Amino acid sequence: MKLAVLPKVTKAHPSTERSQRFLISAHEAADEVLATLEVLRQRRKAKGGDIRGRLAINEEDQLRAAIVFTGAGLDATLKRLIRDTLPNLLLFDEQAQEKFEEFTAEKIGTAETVDPKAVARYLAAADPRERLIDDYVYKLTGSSLQSAQEVSKVAGALGIDDKELRKAIPSLKPLFVARNEISHELDLQSLEKPGDRTRRSRPMDGTKKICDAGFRIGQQIVNAVNEKLSTP
């Protein structure tokens, strides 16, 4: 059982080098976990076990680890992408600038609801725009990405308007649901009937599917930023 190969990197730009490295490292880590799963299954088979049925608990733990690695890898990749590329994108990308202006209006208020203290803080800065950008980047990266909706917001902030990619992002929902169930609840569940396990079952095919989606969309987002930064 192996993850799908990452999509091809297109128009690699120096500004995305670190985020690309994060994504590749996370993909390799998740793939190694699945390789360990196969070792465990073959070991059980060698001892006379039937590997065609339900996975053993320690085997399902490898699937849980793959999900957590995928979610964490996507999170780290997108945060690094924002930090390394957003200030540059704001110099020329209209959609990224529009999202930034919405943040600015929210931060300092409108003509009817202006926040004098916020305005003073930015005006007193050596570079008000740079201070606003720093706060904007912090807002986007200050906490972990917990949902497909938050990934969509990141894509919007980066000025990504590829319709097919934006339509694909909601498919990340099962990955984030599973990641949160594992990270926050250890996959524990209420027992409904005799024989139920204390933790949710994780199927191999379903796990591979949601992990592949996480890495595929992560690469597509990096590629979309590469395209913007590489286009004159």
Give tens-digit pLDDT for 174-200.
Answer: 999 999 999 998 898 887 777 677 888
Q: In the chain, what is the greatest distance between 2 CA atoms, to the nearest angstrom?
A: 75
Question: Percent of the chain scored above 90 by pLDDT?
Answer: 73
Does 4 fall in a domain? no
Number of domains present in the structure of the chain: 1
In a domain, 1, yes or no: no
> Is the residue at 3 inside a domain?
no
Q: pTM of the full predicted structure? A: 0.91
**199 strand-pairing partners:** 188
Residue 110: per-residue pLDDT? 63
Residue 6 in domain: no
**Confidence class of residue 126 from pLDDT cuts 50, 70 and 90?**
confident
In b/e form, how buried is each residue of 179-218, taking b as 16+ CB within 10 angstroms? bebbbeeebeeeeeeeeeeebbebebeebbebbbbbbbbb
- Reduced to 3 states (helix: H, G, I; strand: E, B; else coil), residue 192 is coil
Q: Is residue 2 part of a domain?
A: no
pLDDT recorded at residue 209: 97
Domain that holds residue 124: 14-230
7 is a domain residue: no
Kindly report which listed range (33-37, 39-43, 124-128) carries the lowest average pLDDT score: 124-128
pLDDT digits (tens, 9 = 90+) for 37-47: 999 999 989 98
Residue 78 domain flag: yes
